[in-house]
Amino acid sequence: MPRFETGQVSDEDVGALVDWFLFMNGQPRQGPSFYEALAPATTTQSSDTVTYVAATKHTISGAFKQFYDQQGGAARFGNPLTEQYAGFSEVDATPLTLQLFERARFESVNGEVRLSQIGSAELDLRTHFLGEEGPGGPMP
């Protein structure tokens, strides 16, 4: 896969490619895409089950809200940057529900909330074209 210059491929094109790859692999997306989750929340009312964050115009709900509230909230994770969206684990392609925050990415698998390994995912994203040899020699 060639590297693309900034602006050469639009976000919509990337979303369409991801949907096509998932379709070809027989794993349909179950829920909104990442790009749909970037849109502001449709609700602006907070309740016991949903917190609306006016600063980013996104909500936190369900198991993610419970985890967020119990583990330090905005002081630890920052504000939400997306709504919840459907994705897949980089490790084994397990379907996940995800949500991005300023300092974390929440993942939910079978109702269990965990934090992603952002550093590992970023390293893989930036070096997977290099094959076995990373920028400083063999990959660990």
Whole-model pTM above 0.85?
Answer: no
Report how far residue 93's alpha carbon sits from residue 31's, in angstroms, rounded to the nearest whole number: 16
> What's the one-letter identity of residue 102?
E
Summarize pLDDT for 48-69 with one digit per residue, the tens: 999 999 999 999 999 999 999 9
Which carries the bigger pLDDT value, residue 48 or residue 139?
48
Summarize pLDDT for 2-58 with one digit per residue, the tens: 666 777 777 777 777 777 666 656 655 578 988 899 999 998 999 999 999 999 999
Report how far residue 32's alpha carbon sits from residue 99's, in angstroms, rounded to the nearest whole number: 11
* Percentage of the chain exceeding pLDDT 90: 46
- Could you say which DSSP state residue 62 is in? H
Q: Which residues contact 102 (CB under 8 A, 6 or more apart)?
A: 77, 78, 79, 81
